[in-house]
Amino acid sequence: MCYEEIGKAKGYLKFLEIIMIKGDYNAKVGDKRIEDVGGPSGIWTVNERGSRLIECCQINHFTISNTWYQNHPRRQWTSKSLGDRSRNKRDNTLIPTQFQNAIKTSKSLPGADCDVDHILVV
């Protein structure tokens, strides 16, 4: 989904309706807390797509829910390279900031039977 589309989608919601956007943004949002957007459990550095996602979330009042929960590193990675040489957290779940407390946890399930290089995020 294009970042512009996120704002449009939110405009169709009625009061107290929740939209949750999950996707492979290839965005690294880093491990620093960003007020109302990202928590301290991101991984490593911020890339260009991560900066764009953070900016989109700030404009549209979304939070990146899977950065708020401290999980074992194995439960944070959402993609791995061929040969399992490097791992990243690039798949993110966005939720309106006002509903941030509706999410109790968010983690990856590395044992799920998915025939792709990404790991299921719940």
> Range of 58's domain?
3-121
The number of C-alpha atoms within 13 Å of 38 and in the hemisphere containing its C-beta is: 25
Q: What confidence tens digit (pLDDT) does each residue in 81-116 have?
A: 666 666 565 567 888 888 888 887 776 666 666 656
Question: Per the structure, how many domains does the chain have?
Answer: 1
CATH number for the domain harbouring residue 82: 3.60.10.10
Alpha carbons 41 and 6: distance in angstroms, whole number? 23
16 vs 103: which has the higher pLDDT: 103
Residue 77 has pLDDT above 60, yes or no: no
Answer for the pair 64, 57: CB distance below 8 angstroms, yes or no. yes
